[in-house]
């Protein structure tokens, strides 16, 4: 499960829950009151079990420990709530990602796709093919992680790529077979944004791509 989540969101579910928990604790003023009430309540509860004959310092220590236990329970409860919310967020995000993919399952040559946010890996998975030919994308956002190859006459018009794109361009060797790679054949991209995608290109393709497509 975590591997899938990391593939889609770049981080595991556990890390996302902890990050959301820390952000909630940092950004909500009610946390100050909860900390005061819970730690104080934990200390009070702890003192109820302290014998009257116990040393004062030891009693103070147990009261302090009771406060820490209360604080731990508070953080645990907030973390539990964030866990539920994160799973709900991920469910909604998956639906958002897969929604457009269902629409593209029957895409055919000559189609024009407009104003879609597309996870490229999921698109090819839904198509049950690693090739997509003669399709025009307009005002779309194409997201990875995914490695793609370009074949034929693929055109890019006023497209934006993420900064540092040079590190995501890999040289394609003639005669080498590649697997698990999405291939665009004679496709056009007009006013599209590319995010977290790697391009596997022949040397001449790479030079042309850098000079005509990449915007520094």
> How many structural domains comprise the chain?
2
Same domain, 93 and 133: no
Same domain, 33 and 54: yes
Residue 132 pLDDT > 80: yes
3-state secondary structure 94-108: HHHHHHHHHHCCCCC
Is residue 148 within 8 Å of residue 121, measured between CB atoms?
no
Residue 211 pLDDT > 70: yes
Confidence of residue 190 (pLDDT cuts 50, 70, 90): very high
Report the pLDDT value the prediction gives residue 206, as an integer from 0 to 100: 83
Same domain, 87 and 158: no
Same domain, 37 and 122: no
Same domain, 87 and 113: no
Same domain, 64 and 10: yes
Residue 133 pLDDT > 70: yes
Same domain, 171 and 138: yes
Report the pLDDT value the prediction gives residue 126, as an integer from 0 to 100: 82
Work out the average pLDDT over 119-138: 89
Residues near 193 by beta carbon (within 8 Å), at least 6 away in sequence: 140, 141, 142, 159, 160, 161
Domain-ending residue, one of 97, 125, 146:
97
Residues near 143 by beta carbon (within 8 Å), at least 6 away in sequence: 117, 118, 119, 120, 195, 196, 197
Q: Which domain holds residue 180?
A: 104-212
Same domain, 201 and 120: yes
Same domain, 197 and 124: yes
Domain-ending residue, one of 97, 125, 158:
97
Same domain, 81 and 114: no
Same domain, 63 and 126: no
pTM value?
0.54
Same domain, 159 and 175: yes
Domain-ending residue, one of 97, 117, 135:
97
């Amino acid at each position: 499960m975590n591997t899938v989540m990391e593939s889609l969101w770049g981080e595991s579910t556990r890390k996302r829950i902890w990050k959301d928990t820390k952000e909630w604790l940092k950004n909500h003023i009610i946390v100050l009151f909860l900390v005061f009430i819970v730690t104080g309540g934990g200390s009070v509860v702890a003192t109820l079990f302290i014998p009257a004959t116990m040393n004062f310092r030891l009693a103070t220590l147990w009261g302090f420990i009771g406060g820490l236990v209360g604080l731990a329970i508070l953080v645990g409860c907030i973390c539990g709530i964030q866990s539920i919310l994160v799973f709900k967020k991920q469910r909604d995000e998956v639906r958002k990602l897969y929604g457009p993919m269902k629409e593209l399952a029957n895409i055919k040559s000559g189609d024009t796709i407009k104003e879609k946010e597309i996870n490229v890996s999921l698109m090819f998975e839904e198509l049950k093919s690693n090739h997509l030919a003669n399709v025009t994308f307009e005002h779309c956002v194409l997201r990875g992680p995914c490695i793609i190859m370009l074949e034929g006459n693929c055109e890019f018009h006023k497209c934006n790529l993420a900064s540092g794109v040079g590190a995501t361009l890999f040289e394609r060797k003639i005669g080498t077979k590649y697997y698990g790679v999405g291939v665009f054949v004679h496709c056009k991209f007009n006013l599209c944004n590319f995010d977290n995608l790697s391009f596997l290109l022949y040397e001449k393709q790479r030079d042309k791509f850098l000079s005509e497509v990449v915007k520094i």
